Structure 1
Amino acid sequence: MSDAVTEPQFDVISDGGLDAYAELNNRVEVAPFSLNFGSESRLASDFTREDFFRRLKAGTPHPTTSQPTPQAYVTLLEKAVRPVLAVTISSGLSGSLNAAEQARTLVPGTQTTLHDSRTLSAAQAFQVHAAMTARQRGHTVGVALDWMQRVSEQTELYFTIETLEYLKRGGRIGRVQATLGGLLNLKPVVTVDKKTGAYTNVGRARAWKGALEAVANQVTSRYGEGTPCGWACCTAKPATVPKPCWSICAGGIPSCGRALRRSIRCWRCIPGRRRWGWRPHRARGPGKAEKREGPLAAPATYPPDGLA
């Protein structure tokens, strides 16, 4: 398929659930999340990562996140000169889609199509990449929706958490459960269920290394050992410095790279980056910040139709 740039028929926007990658076609405007420390509320983009992790470790008050406001979407829609395709974080994790729906009714002059990615982070970035590439090639919104659906079917997102302390602080698990997990050094392996769009626990392991081995096993059990994959590593560990693509493929990031390299044949690799590391808010209440790490992997048939 030709890579020639043609006149686009629509524009793409997203939200704060997106982890945009320079290596992907992810240059879109975003309706931001808010980050709250007690009574202090600011746009997440206003915090440096160093400041965020410093305040997270301090622990008082424990940070929460808030979904984009309808007005944030209204601002983006009012600027649009073409029909808009909005790609949101999973509605099972956030009320962002609902905010976009409200904005659509407030700006009836802009033709707006909403797409629930049913995921977040790098997996959402893969879908945005598909939509933006369809846009760049002059395709319709319908083609972009088809490509995103096919990308979703071929994409897996897993992560694990270094410590249960932040889940305890945020009220996600009880003190006894956190204490026992700490004593046994248990790490959960979590994914986003593609039907419900909500988090689901698919395993657990002892120690950080064991958890990352379990993450790699989830990918190989789904697609088979040795399946060529394109993958990206997101890390929220404060001490981790993002490495270039070749370093991840070669195991330059010890935690993720080595476990994955033993079982997954890398077809396309996206450089690692540091994730803010907050757990998205559910529609009924705020989310809780925490540290996590894991890979996003898709089989070599991604992207569809030669999408590159």
Structure 2
Amino acid sequence: MEKIALITDTTADLTEEIIEEYNINILPFRIIYKDREYKDKIEITPQEVYDNFKVEVPTSSLPSMQDTEELFTKLEEEGYTHAIIITLSTGLSGIYNGVKLVSENHPKITSHVMDSKAISWGEGALAHKCGELIKEGKDFNTIIDELYKFRQKIQVFFVVGTLEYLKRGGRIGKVSGTIGELLNIKPIIVVDNNDGKYCTYDKVRGRKQSLNRMFEIVENKLKETKCSIYVMHGDALEESTKIYEKLSKLENASKVVMGGAISPVSGVHSGPGLVGIVLIEES
């Protein structure tokens, strides 16, 4: 009989309630300052990262090989026969390859590493769905097939306060913004479903207009199909709350969830001022 473990990482932004309900194993990214490093979400909060920007902008690193090895060893000892690992987009991180390497050291567990091609609740929604399917008693291969179908229904949109942090961290992807910054052009950024990198969906002038345009994009999408919506933020609670309230009034929104603050490591790369929306098409 299959005993399936579920693993994801801290950028999935799952709530403690979901993690506990579906027994999800979380691999923490690392946030690195000159004098020490922290485990993402475990030893440092998003606000602590933003508050310290004026002193130092940290770098980040993958979950440690030791943490990953210890997790797989623990799962073996607990009798797990299979594992599904859902990672941050390979277009944004090398975690997929790192976890795959460790999983191959543990042949007693049949593992499948899945590239979410997303971040935050785009990744988290996949992990949540996987948890539900495991709980329903679906078999390993069926779950994997259903997850890849589900991944096609997810879209991640966001705006940032400045492109400076994405550029600094090398996460700018296909978003061009050097001249745009001078003209106060604000891109609405989407995570490309093909390669999982950031690209420009649309662009407008000014912060207020960028938030309004992102709302319009979602509003138009909901005219075509029913969707679940998750709203996240990076040091932009007030603005994200306003957009959440507006989205909650739209027809065809099957549910609108305030997803809260993105993980500290995501905040390192996006900087303060992120407002994000994840759309999940209903089948």
* TM-score relative to the length of structure 2: 0.84
**CA–CA separation in structure 1 for the residues paired with 2:15 and 2:215:** 22
Partner of 2:120 in structure 1? 121
Cα distance, 1:10 vs structure 2 = 0.8
- The yes-or-no answer on 1:254 pairing with 2:242 is yes
Could you tell me how far apart the structure 2 residues matched to 1:17 and 1:107 are? 24
2:49 is aligned to 52
Other structure's SS at 2:104 match? helix
> For residues 106-145 of structure 1, what are the structure 2 equivalents within 5 Å?
106-145=105-144
CA distance 1:34–1:264, shift in 2 (3 Å): farther
1:237 corresponds in structure 2 to 235
Tell me the amino acid that sits aligned with residue 275 of structure 2: E
Q: Pick closer, same or farther for the CA change 1:172–1:224 going to 2, 3 Å.
A: closer
Cα–Cα, structure 1 residues 168 and 300, in superposed 2: closer, same or farther, change >3 Å?
Answer: closer
Counterpart CA distance in 2 for 1:22 and 1:105 is 29
2:73 maps to a residue whose letter is: E
Give the equivalent residue in structure 2 for 1:68. Answer: 63
Q: Which runs of structure 1 show a deviation greater than 6 angstroms over 4 or more consecutive aligned residues?
A: none
2-side partners of 1:34 and 1:116: how far apart?
Answer: 19
* CA distance in 1 between partners of 2:5 and 2:154 (Å): 23
Shift of residue 194, structure 1, vs aligned partner:
1.1
Report the Cα distance in structure 2 between the residues aligned to 1:33 and 1:298, rounded to whole angstroms: 25
Q: Distance in 1 between matches of 2:84 and 2:44?
A: 28
Q: What does residue 184 of structure 1 align with? A: 183
Deviation at 1:219, TM superposition (A): 3.3
What root-mean-square deviation, in Å, do the aligned CA atoms of Structure 1 and Structure 2 show? 2.8
Q: Tell me if structure 2 keeps the 8 A contact 1:86–1:113.
A: yes
Shift of residue 91, structure 1, vs aligned partner = 1.2
Give the match for residue 74 of structure 2: 79
Question: Do the aligned partners of 1:164 and 1:181 also contact (CA within 8 Å) in 2?
Answer: no
SS in 2 for 1:51: helix
Once the 2 structures are TM-superposed, how far is the Cα of residue 37 of structure 1 from its aligned partner? 1.9
Structure 1 residues not aligned, in runs of 5+: 1-6, 243-247, 281-286, 302-308
Following the alignment from structure 2 to structure 1, what is the Cα–Cα distance between the partners of residues 52 and 103? 36
After TM superposition, the structure 1 = structure 2 runs for residues 195-210 of structure 1, keeping only pairs within 5 Å, are 195-210=194-209
In the alignment, which residue of structure 2 is the partner of 1:265? 252
Q: Deviation digits for residues 62-105 of structure 1, max 9, x if unmatched?
A: 22211123322211111112111111111111111111111012
Count residues with an aligned counterpart: 271
* SS of corresponding position for 1:53: helix
CA distance in 2, matches of 1:115, 1:172: 20
Asked if the contact 1:126–1:151 (Cα under 8 Å) also holds between the matched residues in 2, the reply is no
For residues 236 and 264 of structure 1, the distance between their equivalents in structure 2, rounded to whole angstroms, comes to 27
Offset at 1:127?
0.7
With over 3 angstroms needed to count, the CA separation of the structure-2 counterparts of 1:23 and 1:159, relative to structure 1, is farther
Match of 1:274 in 2: 261
The Cα shift of 1:256 comes to 4.5
Distance in 1 between the 2:22 and 2:156 partners?
A: 18
Identity of aligned residues (%): 22
Change in CA separation of 1:146 and 1:220 when aligned onto 2, cut-off 3 Å: farther
Residue number among 268, 275, 278 corresponding to 1:293 in the alignment: 275
Is structure 2 residue 22 aligned with structure 1 residue 40?
A: no
TM-score normalised by length of structure 1: 0.77
Of 160-169 and 195-204, the range deviating more from structure 2 = 160-169
For 2:186 and 2:69, the matched residues in 1 are separated by 40
Please list every run of 5 or more consecutive structure 2 residues that lacks an aligned counterpart in the other structure: none
Contact 1:229–1:268 (CA<8 Å) still a contact in 2? Answer: yes
